[in-house]
Structure 1
Amino acid sequence: MSTYETKLIARDIVAADTMIFEFERPQGFDFKAGQAIDLILVETEVAEAKGARHTFSIVSAPFENKLAIATRMRAASTFKLALKRLMVGTPVRIEGPYGSLTLRDNSRRAAVIIAGGIGITPFLSMARQAANDQSSQYLMLVYSNRRPEDAPFLSELTQLERLNVNFRLVATMTQASKSNIHWNGKTGPVDENLLQQAAGHFPEPVYYVAGPPMFVEAMRATLADMGIAESSIHSEDFFGY
C-alpha cells in the first residue's frame, strides 16, 4: 500500500456536526468509487494527535481532481479535535486506497444501496461517478437519517437524481418530528416494506450497505429475511464515524 504527501485545500460543514475536508489529489493516486484511505496527521497543534491515523471512505469521485473525506464531528476524539483545527495548507499523509465496497462490474443487475447517516460517503462517490459517466447501471439509493439537517449531501443527491436517469434517491427520516426543517418525504426506519417498495421490482439486484454497525447488522438481517442471498449483499461498518 502506497503513502502519499498532500495538503488540506478546503473544509466545510455539510450537515449538523458533520464536516467535509478536501485535499490535493496526489499525482498517481488512483482509486475506485467506494474505496477508503487512512489519513495521517503530520502537523497539528494537538500534540498527542501527531502521527495519528484514521480510516475514511473517499467521498470524492475518481474523475475529480481533489480527494475528499467527510465525518461526524460529534465524537469526542483526539483525532477529530485535531482534524477540526487543521488550517488550509496543512500537510498530511494518506495511505491507500483499499477496500472492496465497490460496484460489481455487472450493469445488468441493479445496485440497491442502503446508507445510514455518514455511511453515505462511499455511495456519494459512486453516484457522482455514475452521473459523470452516464452509467447504464441502475442505482437505487435508500438513505436513512434522523432529521433532514443530519443528512449529509442530501441536496446534492437530489441534484444527481435529476442528472442521471439511472439513479433514484429514496430518503427517509426516523425523527422528522424533531426537525426544524419541514420534511414531506418518507419517515420511519428502513424496513422490509420500504425496501420492497423501492427495489422489489428489480430482478436479482445486488445490495450494498454502509453505516453504523447496528444499522448494518439490522439491514443484513432484514435482507436475509427477504430471502436475499448472502452473496448478493456487500456491507461496511463505520465505527466511530
Structure 2
Amino acid sequence: MFEYIAGQYTYFKLDDVKGDPNDTTRHFTISSSPTENFIMFTTKIRESAYKQRLSTLEVGDKLRASKPEGEFVLPEDNTKSVIFLSGGIGVTPFRTMIKYVTDKQLPTKITMFDSNKNQQNIIFNKEFDNWAAFNENIKIIYTLSDEESNENDDSGTKEEWNGEKGRIDKEMILKYVDKNTLDDVVFYVSGPPDMLKSMHSLLQKELEISPDRIKAEEFTGY
C-alpha cells in the first residue's frame, strides 16, 4: 500500500470536515506494523469536528494520507536493548514496533512500562501478552495510576488487579531492569505532555540517563 518504518506517523486529511478550528488534517502514528497487510491508526474519539467526522466514516469513504515520516523509530542496531515508557494512547507506536520485532524475529530486547488510568483504558494488552509469550525478548509491565486500581466488571463485582500500581518511577524501573542494561539502553517515551515532562525529569535527574539515549513522542488530544 505504502512503505513506512515502524513508529512513523502520517497526516490524514478529511475534506468534508466543517467548523473545526484545527482545520481538516491530523497526524496519527501508524499502529499497524509494516509486516501486516493493512494500515491501522488508533485514536480516542473526542468532541472536535474532525474526530466526530472520523467516527462516522464507512467502508468506501476516502481520506487523504501523506507520506509517512518521523524519527521515533527503533535503533538501526537491532541488538540494542530498548525500554518503552508509555502513557495511555501513547502506546500506539510501541504496538507497531513490538509487532515488527516479533514478526521479523529480531534480537532486540524490549521492556515496556505501560501506564494507564485504569484497566478499562489499557489497549492492545491481549496482543502484547501474546507476543511476549511468543518472544522471550519482550517484557511488558502494566501499571495503573488511579488510586482505585480495581475496576468493576459487567457483573458489578471487583476484578482483582495483579499488576503494578502508581505512576512509573525510579523504583519501578529498577525492579525490572538491571544496572548493566540501564547503562546502555535507549529509552522511548510516548504519551501526553505532562507524562513526557515527568519522564524526562525521572530519566535525566534520577536515573542520570544522557539526553542522547532518550527519544520522545508527544500525544495531544484534539
TM-score, with structure 1 as normaliser: 0.83
Q: Tell me what 1:194 maps to.
A: 172
Matched letter for residue 197 of structure 2: E
Matched letter for residue 213 of structure 2: S
Q: Once superposed, which parts of structure 1, at least 4 consecutive aligned residues long, lie more than 3 Å away?
A: 46-49
Instruction: Tell me whether 108-117 or 228-237 shows the greater mean CA deviation.
Output: 108-117
Matched letter for residue 185 of structure 2: P
Match among 120, 130, 136 for residue 165 of structure 1 = 136
Contact kept, 8 Å, 2:112 with 2:139, in 1: the verdict is yes
Q: Tell me what 2:163 maps to.
A: 185
Instruction: Tell me whether 190-199 or 173-182 shows the greater mean CA deviation.
Output: 173-182
CA distance in 2 between counterparts of 1:179 and 1:88 reads 34
- Structure 1: tracts of 5 or more residues without a match: 1-25
CA distance in 2 between counterparts of 1:185 and 1:61 reads 27
CA distance in 1 between counterparts of 2:90 and 2:129 reads 17
Q: Which has the higher strand share?
A: 1
CA distance in 2 between counterparts of 1:58 and 1:64 reads 11
Report the 3-state secondary structure (helix = DSSP H, G, I; strand = E; otherwise coil) of the residue aligned with 1:109: coil
Q: Does 1:238 align with 2:210?
A: no
Contact kept, 8 Å, 1:35 with 1:99, in 2: the verdict is yes
Deviation of 1:70 (Å): 0.5
Q: Does 1:37 align with 2:10?
A: yes
Q: Tell me what 1:212 maps to.
A: 192
Q: Percent identical across equivalent pairs?
A: 29
TM-score, with structure 2 as normaliser: 0.90
CA distance in 2 between counterparts of 1:67 and 1:105 reads 23
Deviation of 1:88 (Å): 1.6
Contact kept, 8 Å, 2:83 with 2:188, in 1: the verdict is yes
Q: Tell me what 2:42 maps to.
A: 70
Match among 129, 143, 161 for residue 114 of structure 2 = 143
Q: Tell me what 2:156 maps to.
A: none
Q: Tell me what 1:90 maps to.
A: 61
The aligned length equals 210
Q: Tell me what 1:60 maps to.
A: 32
Deviation of 1:200 (Å): 3.1
Report the 3-state secondary structure (helix = DSSP H, G, I; strand = E; otherwise coil) of the residue aligned with 1:131: helix
Instruction: Tell me whether 106-115 or 204-213 shows the greater mean CA deviation.
Output: 106-115
CA distance in 2 between counterparts of 1:124 and 1:172 reads 17
CA distance in 2 between counterparts of 1:123 and 1:106 reads 17
